[in-house]
Amino acid sequence: MHELTELIKNDMKPALGVTEPGAIAFAVSTARSYLKGDVKKILLKLNSGMYKNAYTCGIPGSSHVGNLYAAALGAVAGVPEKGLESLADVTEADNEAAEKMVAAGMVEAQMTEITSRIFIEASVETESGEAVVTIRDSHTNIVRIAVNGEVVFSGEEKRGNEAVEKPLIHSYTLEQIYEYSSTVDVEEIRFIMDAFQMNYELFEEGLENPRTTYARYLLKKNGGEIFSEDEQKTASLLCNAAIEARVIGLDKPAMSITGSGAHGIIATLPLYAVAKVKGLPDEKLLRATALSYLVCMYIKEYSGKLSAFCGCGIAAGTGMACGLVYLKDGTVDMMAKTINNMASSLTGMICDGGNKGCTMKGVVAVDAAFQSVDFAMQGIFIDNVHGINGMTPEETMHNMGLIASPGMVETEGVIVGIMREK
């Protein structure tokens, strides 16, 4: 198996609801599993991105939102073996128990630092003692578990203060990523079909559930059809109905990429829409999506997993745009021009947490991608000498990431401050 295939396969993971509440519930439920007796106290320590993204985010199986309820539900109903889907079995009784815990002041969430590096420390105290679970760098990467002060598990931190090893994806150029996507044995990437199936089922949930609003209007804008002759409106409908369903906490998982379900949705469903409208074969769709995933990963490795800029729109949107060029039989040079157009338009879009606003950002990302591709395939693009564009597509993607980290660290603090003031 090609190392890029392994990279994609290892990164694709189902996630129920927005990833950050799922990760919080996973951490708390893991700590809870080491203890007996009733829960007395839960203390969360979170980096700024984790704190912000879950702050007003919907939780699957619940009408509640946010860090405190994600933690409380993790304690009363979380199943740690299910990872980011740990809240798959929440009942009304669980919601009532969580409400009582939060109302009694038994759950506290603290922001530790402004950083794009994922950090969760979940401390759970019961009548039998205390367990502390620490997660670093990815949403389910447990690096330490301590029970009553004794370390019972010690894992690997993927990054540290020392020099960080160059990510695998940065060993490749855009042309090499294109070459891989075009020539890899299609059976080797057939597993990507699972992402289309899972994300499309989430889209259907968004379309049918009475809690959504954008989904129904996007359907109306598409002539009342799921698949119309309009590629862009169909792509926006599929993509953003699924995002809306996800951020309000509907009970269907998304297939995440780079630790984010919304990234996974944007990187796949617009391509799926175009392929279905144009009647393209599955092989072409799979190859375009592999390319989309890898370009998204390329940018995200520079920007960090959680930051002040909207990686869904910028990183996944740019990946998806390159996938669109592939579906339209475009060249690598056209993809490079598309990246320039995306970098010169979307870069700087803020992330103000996982919430319904993600739907609107998805709408903007899809529109920008289709416009960027159309212009680029006509030879119209923002030249390398302008703005943050580099002399190569690799430099441009690097610069896009730098805008997030370290570029928008202060912005992150301002965003969290505004949210707390409300």
- What tens digit of pLDDT does each residue of 20-54 get? 999 999 999 999 999 999 999 999 999 999 999 99
227 and 115 in one domain? no
> What would the pLDDT profile of 239-287 be if each residue is shown by its tens digit?
999 999 999 989 899 999 998 999 999 999 999 999 999 999 999 999 9
Tell me the DSSP string of 196-238: HHHHHHHHHHHHH-TT-SHHHHHHHHTTT-SS-S-HHHHHHHH
Domain end position, chosen among 154, 176, 198: 154
Strand-pair partners of 39? 126
d(CA 191, CA 187): 8
d(CA 188, CA 283): 11
pTM score, two decimals? 0.90
122 and 66 in one domain? yes
375 and 311 in one domain? yes
Tokens 């959680």 label which residue? 306
Domain end position, chosen among 130, 154, 178: 154
- The verdict on residue 125 lying in a domain is yes
208 and 266 in one domain? yes
- The verdict on residue 371 lying in a domain is yes
- The verdict on residue 149 lying in a domain is yes
Q: Which secondary structure element, helix H or strand E, spans residue 127, and what is its range?
A: none
248 and 277 in one domain? yes
Q: What is the CATH number of the domain that holds 145?
A: 3.30.1330
pLDDT at 259: 87
- The verdict on residue 285 lying in a domain is yes
**What range does the domain containing 148 cover?**
15-154
- The verdict on residue 197 lying in a domain is yes
Residue spans of the chain under pLDDT 50: 160-163
Domain end position, chosen among 154, 185, 206: 154
- The verdict on residue 328 lying in a domain is yes
285 and 393 in one domain? yes
pLDDT at 15: 86
d(CA 245, CA 389): 34
189 and 85 in one domain? no
195 and 139 in one domain? no
Give the per-residue SS3 of 310-365: CHHHHHHHHHHHHHHHHHCCCCHHHHHHHHHHHHCCCCCCECCCCCCHHHHHHHHH
179 and 93 in one domain? no
316 and 191 in one domain? yes
Domains in the chain, number: 2
Tell me the DSSP string of 165-205: PPPGGGGS-HHHHHHHHHHS-GGGGGGGHHHHHHHHHHHHH
Asked if 419 and 355 touch (Cβ cutoff 8 Å), the reply is no
129 and 253 in one domain? no
- The verdict on residue 276 lying in a domain is yes
pLDDT at 305: 81
38 and 121 in one domain? yes
- The verdict on residue 85 lying in a domain is yes
Chain CA centroid to CA 32, Å: 26
Nearest to 238 by CA among 267, 280, 259: 267
For residue 413, the tally of other CB atoms under 10 A from its CB is 15
